[in-house]
Amino acid sequence: MGKIVVRNSAQNLTVLDEIELRRVQDLAPHPESRRIPDMAPGEWKSFLEDVKKRGIVEPIEITDKNEILDGKHRWKAAKELGIEKIPVRVVSPPDPIEYILSAAIERRHLTEGQRAALVLEREEYLQSLKKEADERKKASLKQYKNDQKCSSVSAPGHSRKGKTFEHAGKAVGVSARTLYRVQTVKRASPELFEKVKKGEIAPKKAYSIVSSSQKRTQLEQNLDSDKAIMAKFGYSPKPFDVWSVRTDERFGKEWPGRIPAEIVFQTLYFFTKQGDLIVDPMAGGGVTGDVCKVMNRRCLMYDISPSREDIKKHDIRDGFPLEGAGAELVFLDPPYYKKLEKEYGLESISSLPRAEYLAVFRKFARDAVESGVKKVALLMSDYTDETNPQENIFIWHYVREFEEAGWIPIRHIMVPLSTQQVHPDIVNKFVASRRLARLSRSLVMFVRGSS
């Protein structure tokens, strides 16, 4: 397509393609264009000078109702400079809102903070569409079942296998850390978010203001000490590298491989402080989130098969969740390879071959580094197969994957399974066959390397 130029006078016009000319006064921005930030005064002045010199170079994209989808600033400049007619192209996108946001993100004059704000708005909008579609699909499925027409059906709806915010940001040159900062500001202070969106304040500075405010609020709450909180639930800090723990049904729901809450209590006490952000990417029955709540830690929980509403659906193979960027601690309690393969199902990493299973940890460790996570607590048990020892995976195999990704192990804590959980018949069986049962379990603490 050739270049289109409309200069200040409607008579001084060059059109090298068949693009329609319409009067400026007949056009108006689409209502949703309010999402697009105005240029800063200095940028606007430079933009006007450029339009005076070169004219309107690119056609403005509009709907068949003369609503501007892309080119709001060019239209405003033409209006201010007295240009009577400008080149337009009529487009009919499936979703005008997504089109407006996507077009705006590509504008060269935006700062990284402004681009991040628009990326967040677009992705959150698309996710809201997907949520609505999922709800319609569930309602449709329920109606079909009630009518007893079929036991399952693929209901119609808007489906979006969404890219993560990180991927959307990378595509337009926005770092995951900037996206995290802007998203945090958006949730904490809509006023500051609007300033970031307009380019009046940098994401880093806005995030610093929000963080300082949150810390002050936390101090004002006069929270109980960690020791006092633990005592309320019958626990006390264990300053050793062996923790004998028991199952506690007050935390989490029944779930395959449900972990004792005390492991989380002790980990939070020794390696975090109140107000810290904790991420559990394989939350299972939600034990970590429940303990974090009573210990006054913020917690984000994810799982490939969420068991509760406060656990978001996410597969760690798709990358580290944007919301968890910069977390103080990731509590990672993954499947112990093939130990409960049938209970976890085919979607679980338990079903993967050994090499692919370990590769998941390698990728996760690297993703966590890139997302600015400070510490990782890996809860893991050895897996041994006497009939096929090549399948064996020991704790040092996992440590190796994390070390290669830049993590430094600082503690190896033993948290063995209780012998009370082993039925006497099983004990007799192992004794008679001269075999060893697996009761060992390790909690390895990592910190991110300086590199």
pLDDT digits (tens, 9 = 90+) for 250-303: 898 776 667 899 999 999 999 999 999 999 999 988 999 999 999 999 999 999
What mean pLDDT do residues 367-388 have?
90
Cα separation, 227 vs 299, whole angstroms: 19
Please check whether residue 311 is in contact with residue 301, taking contact to mean a CB–CB distance below 8 angstroms.
Answer: yes
Q: What is the CA radius of gyration of the chain?
A: 28
425 in Cβ contact with 362 (< 8 Å) = no
| Of 13-27, 353-367, 384-398, minimum mean pLDDT range | 13-27
What span, in angstroms and rounded, lies between the C-alpha atoms of 183 and 323?
Answer: 8
Q: What pLDDT was estimated at residue 52? A: 86
Query: How many C-beta atoms surround the C-beta of residue 88 within 10 A?
Result: 22
Greatest Cα-to-Cα distance within the chain, rounded to the nearest angstrom = 101
Question: Residue 182 and residue 204: Cα distance in Å, rounded?
Answer: 8
The H-or-E segment that residue 57 falls in is none
Across 315-319, 325-329, 393-397, 433-437, least confident range = 433-437
User: For 381, which DSSP code?
Assistant: -
At residue 278, the pLDDT reads 96
Q: Does residue 162 have a pLDDT over 60? A: no
Domain ranges of the chain: 4-105, 112-219, 223-448
* Contact of 448 with 403, CB cutoff 8 Å: no
Q: Which of these, 252, 254, 234, 237, lies nearest to 291 by C-alpha position?
A: 252
DSSP state of 348: S
Q: Which homologous superfamily does the CATH classification assign to the domain defined by 223-448?
A: Vaccinia Virus protein VP39 (3.40.50.150)
pLDDT of residue 108: 61
How far is C-alpha 84 from the chain's CA centre?
47
Of the two residues 448 and 139, the one the predictor is more confident about is 448
* Contact between 28 and 67 (Cβ < 8 Å): yes
Cβ neighbour number for residue 412 with a 10 Å cutoff: 13
* pLDDT tens-digit series, residues 175-196: 878 888 888 888 888 888 888 8
Under CATH, which number does the domain 4-105 receive?
Answer: 3.90.1530.10
* Contact between 226 and 268 (Cβ < 8 Å): yes
pTM (predicted TM-score): 0.56
The two three-digit tokens of residue 245, written as one number: 């723990």
State yes or no: pLDDT of 152 exceeds 50: no
Closest CA to 2 of 12, 14, 16, 13: 16
Using DSSP, state whether 64 is helix, strand or coil. coil
Tokens describing residue 357: 């299973």
Give the amino acid at 44.
W
Residue 327 contacts residue 321 (beta carbons within 8 Å): no
Q: How confident is the model at residue 219 (pLDDT cuts 50, 70, 90)?
A: low
Closest CA to 366 of 309, 329, 421, 404: 404
